[in-house]
Amino acid sequence: MSNRSLTKHLSSLEWKPLENEIVRINFDAVFNHRHFRSAVGLVVRNDRGRFWSSSQWWRIGLPPLLPRKLAHTL
């Protein structure tokens, strides 16, 4: 396997308002391949940029179906 970087750089970090009472859900995820740990987080804001909710998930080990999916790729 090559050591490719999976980092994505955002071109803009400025919040922009939405129209018509739409909510915006921003999320990010990370995976540590050495320790088989991953995390996902999200933030929900309304059309005025006001915070509504957030959540995060942490996982240690591989997801239950991942080994089966990887086996099909070999």
Range name among 6-10, 44-48, 55-59, 61-65 with the lowest pLDDT average: 6-10
CB 29 within 8 A of CB 38: yes
CA 11 to chain centre: 17
Compute the distance between CA of residue 39 and CA of residue 66 in angstroms, rounded to an integer.
Answer: 16
Which residue is listed with tokens 């999200």?
Answer: 42
Please give the model's pTM, rounded to 2 decimal places: 0.51
Q: What is the mean pLDDT of residues 32-49?
A: 87
Altogether, the residues listed in the chain come to a count of 74
pLDDT at 60: 79
Q: How many whole angstroms separate alpha carbon 24 and alpha carbon 42?
A: 10
Instruction: Give the tens place of pLDDT for each residue, 8-32.
Output: 555 566 777 767 778 889 999 888 8
Domain parsing of the chain, residue ranges: 24-73
At residue 66, φ and ψ (nearest 5 deg) are -60, -45
11-15, 42-46, 55-59 — most confident range: 42-46
